[in-house]
C-alpha cells in the first residue's frame, strides 16, 4: 500500500473536483474546486497510502488583474511516506470565500487568519476570524496587488480639502 500514486488516486476519487494537475520542478500541484477543498484534504489525510498528516503552510496569492483573482495554496506533507503535495484553490475577486480546514488541521488556524487579514479572503467555519498582524481597525488588505506599497497623495489646490482630512497632523 505504500506507493499509492497521489495523482491517480485523487483523480479517481474526485473526478469533478480536480480541475487541473501541474508539475513543476518535481512538485505536484492540484487545482481543486473551492467547494470540495475540505473533502479533498480529508481524503489526503485519511486514505491509506496517502496519509498527508502534516499541513505545513497555507498561503494566499493575488493574481490581479487576472480572473479568478485569488488563490489559496495548501502545502501538505506526509511524514509516513515522506512526500509533499500542493493543493491550490482559485477564488473570484468579488467576495472571495472558502471553507476553513481548521477542523482537519488545527495548524491552519493562524495561517487562515493571516490570509483573511492580508487578502480579505473569508474562511467560512473558522471559529475566530479576526485580523492577525494588522491593527483591528485597519482599512484594506495590504498584500492585495492594488494596495499601494507606500507613498502619500500629493495635495494640490483642487483636492486640498479632500486630502487634508487624512493628513496625520495634530488637530484640536
Partner 1 sequence: MTGSDDNLWQGDVEKLKGLVSERALTGETMVLNMGPQHPSTHGVLRLLLELDGETVVTCVPDIGYLHTGIEKNMESKRYEQSIVMTDRMDYLSPMGNNLVYCLAMEKLIDLDVPPRAQVIRVLLSELTRINSHLVWLGTHALDIGAMSVFLYCFRERERLLDIFEMVSGQRMMSTYFRPGGVWRDVPAEFEPAVRDFINYFPPRVDDYEKLLTNNPLWLDRTQGIGFISADDAIRYGCSGPTLRGSGVNWDIRKALPYSGYENFDFDVPLGQHGDVYDRYLIRIEEMRQSLRIVEQALDKLPDGPVRSNNRKYVPPPRSELGQSMEAVIHHFKLWTEGFRPPVGEVYQRIESPRGELGCYLVSDGEPKPWRVHFRTPSFIHLSVLPLMSKDHLIADLVGIIGSVDIVLGDCDR
Binding residues for partner 1 (CB under 8 A): 24-25, 27, 29, 53-57, 59-62, 73, 75, 79, 82, 84, 86, 105-107, 109-111, 127-128, 132-135, 142-143, 149
The residue (of 24 and 156) whose beta carbon lies closer to partner 1 is: 24
Q: Which residues contact 106 (CB under 8 A, 6 or more apart)?
A: none
Beta bridge partners of 123: 98
Cβ 161 to partner 1, closest distance in Å? 30
Dihedral sign for Cα atoms in the order 140, 143, 145, 147: positive
- In whole angstroms, what is the distance from residue 86 CA to residue 88 CA? 6
The residue among 13 and 59 lying less far from partner 1, judged by its C-beta, is 59
**What's CA 42's distance to the chain center, in Å?**
17
CB-nearer residue toward partner 1: 21 or 79: 79
Whether 91 and 34 have beta carbons less than 8 Å apart is answered as yes
CB of 164 to partner 1, least distance (A): 26
Q: How far is the CB of 113 from partner 1 (least distance, A)?
A: 9
Amino acid at each position: 500500500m505504500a506507493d499509492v500514486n497521489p495523482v491517480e488516486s485523487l483523480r479517481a476519487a474526485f473526478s469533478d473536483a480536480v480541475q487541473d494537475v501541474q508539475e513543476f520542478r518535481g512538485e505536484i500541484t492540484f487545482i481543486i474546486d473551492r467547494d470540495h477543498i475540505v473533502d479533498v484534504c480529508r481524503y489526503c489525510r485519511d486514505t491509506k497510502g496517502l496519509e498527508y498528516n502534516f499541513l505545513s503552510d497555507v498561503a494566499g496569492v493575488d493574481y490581479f488583474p487576472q480572473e479568478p483573482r485569488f488563490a489559496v495554496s495548501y502545502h501538505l506533507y506526509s511524514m509516513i511516506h515522506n512526500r509533499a503535495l500542493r493543493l491550490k484553490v482559485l477564488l473570484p475577486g468579488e467576495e472571495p470565500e472558502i471553507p476553513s480546514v481548521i477542523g482537519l488541521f488545527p495548524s491552519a488556524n493562524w495561517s487562515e487568519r493571516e490570509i483573511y487579514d492580508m487578502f480579505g479572503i473569508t474562511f467560512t467555519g473558522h471559529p475566530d476570524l479576526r485580523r492577525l498582524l494588522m491593527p483591528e481597525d485597519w482599512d484594506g488588505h495590504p498584500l492585495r496587488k492594488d494596495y499601494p506599497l507606500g507613498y502619500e497623495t500629493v495635495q494640490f489646490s483642487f483636492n486640498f480639502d479632500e486630502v487634508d482630512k487624512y493628513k496625520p497632523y495634530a488637530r484640536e
